[in-house]
Amino acid sequence: MNAILDTRAPAEPIVLAARRWLSPVREQLGNAFLSAYITGGALNEGFDPEHRHVNVLVVTEELPISRLDALAAVVPASKKAPHIDPLFMTLQQVQRSLDVFPIEWLDLQERHYTLEGVDLFTALEVPQTYLRLQIEQELRGKHLRLTQGYVLGAAHPEHLHATLARLASGFHTLFRALIRLHDEAPPSSLERVTARVAELYDLDAEALGAAHRMRSQRRHPGADETRAVYRSFLAQIERLTSAVDGFRIS
Q: Phi/psi class of residue 107: alpha, beta or left (left: φ > 0; alpha: ψ in -120 to 50)? A: alpha
**Calculated CA dihedral for residues 97, 103, 109, 113, nearest 10 degrees:** -100
Specify the CATH class of 12-123 in words: alpha beta
Q: Given pLDDT bands bounded at 50, 70 and 90, which one contains residue 5?
A: very low
| Biggest CA pair distance of the chain | 61
Q: What is the mean pLDDT of residues 75-100?
A: 92
Q: Is the separation of the CB atoms in 34 and 117 below 8 Å? A: yes
pTM value > 0.75? yes
Query: Domain limits of the chain?
Result: 12-123, 128-245
φ, ψ for residue 230 (rounded to 5)? -60, -50
What are the helix and strand counts (H, E) for the chain?
A: 10, 4
Q: Is the separation of the CB atoms in 187 and 193 below 8 Å? A: yes
Query: What is the model's pLDDT at position 223?
Result: 86
Query: What is the model's pLDDT at position 165?
Result: 82
Averaged confidence pLDDT in the chain: 89
How many C-beta neighbours within 10 Å does residue 33 have?
19
Instruction: Indicate if the pLDDT at residue 137 is higher than 60.
Output: yes
**Residues 141-195 pLDDT 10s:** 999 999 999 999 999 989 988 888 888 777 888 999 999 999 898 887 888 999 9
* Range of weakest confidence among 21-30, 52-61, 77-86: 77-86
CA 130 to chain centre: 17
Q: Is the separation of the CB atoms in 104 and 123 below 8 Å? A: no
247 against 5, higher pLDDT: 247
φ, ψ for residue 121 (rounded to 5)? -70, -25
Q: How far is CA 81 from CA 14, 53, 230, in A?
A: 9, 8, 36
Q: What is the mean pLDDT of residues 84-88?
A: 96
Instruction: Indicate if the pLDDT at residue 96 is higher than 50.
Output: yes
